[in-house]
Amino acid sequence: MKQCSKCKEEKPLDGFYFRKESGKHRNECTECTKALRSKHRRDNPEAVNATNRKHWHIRKLSSGYREFLKSDAKEFTRKAGSHNNRAKQDFGLSERLLSSEIRRLYNNHGWACYYCGKLVANTTNLELDHVIPLEVGGRNHISNCVPACTHCNRTKHTKTEQEFLISRNQGAEV
């Protein structure tokens, strides 16, 4: 049981929203939280509209995004496993990527390709690329990884970031 900080009623914990980032329940019960959010939307339409415009791409890709959320755990685990296996078998590297690190990386880059900026709706078309390829001594560490669309990742192949950008720019000039 927990007491709501707004209505002062004692309610079971399932009557409060849970915050994943802090691992704790909110101080206001769900009813008070909904009322506060509704009041905020009513009193601040400009701020709400600005937030909606800021996050338009999520709505635009909503069906693909929702579908992704259903299967993301398996897909990120598969991606991490395949990168870890390749790094160990082909290059003898013991560093391991975690599925949570890959998910955070994709979110931090806004589900867009690092090289061309293309927005990608699912993990099938967004791949994990090593900025300094493993073939030339790069690490199998999240700090050496970026999200890349299939086209950019396949085109980059074993080039470093600088080599890839130079070759891409030369191709555009021809």
Q: Residue 119: which CATH number?
A: 3.30.40.220
Shared domain for 43 and 66, answered yes or no, is no
Residue 76 Cα distances to 68, 156, 172, angstroms: 10, 22, 33
* Residue that has been written with the tokens 């927005």 in this structure: 119
What is the structure's pLDDT at 60?
55
Q: Which of 54, 73, 98 is the endpoint of a domain?
A: 54
Shared domain for 10 and 75, answered yes or no, is no
What is the structure's pLDDT at 8?
96
Tokens standing for residue 17? 């929203």
- The answer to whether residues 115 and 162 touch, using CB atoms and an 8 Å cutoff, is no
Q: How far apart are CA 39 and CA 31, in angstroms?
A: 12
Q: How far apart are CA 168 and CA 174, in angstroms?
A: 10
Residue-number span of the structural domain to which 39 is assigned: 2-54
What is the structure's pLDDT at 57?
58
Shared domain for 29 and 114, answered yes or no, is no
Shared domain for 93 and 123, answered yes or no, is yes
Shared domain for 66 and 47, answered yes or no, is no
Split into its structural domains, the chain has a count of: 2
Q: pLDDT truncated to tens, each residue of the chain (174 aa)?
A: 999 999 999 999 999 999 888 889 999 999 999 999 999 999 998 988 888 777 665 555 555 555 555 556 677 788 888 878 888 888 888 888 888 888 888 888 888 999 998 888 777 788 889 999 998 888 889 999 999 999 999 999 899 889 998 988 886 654
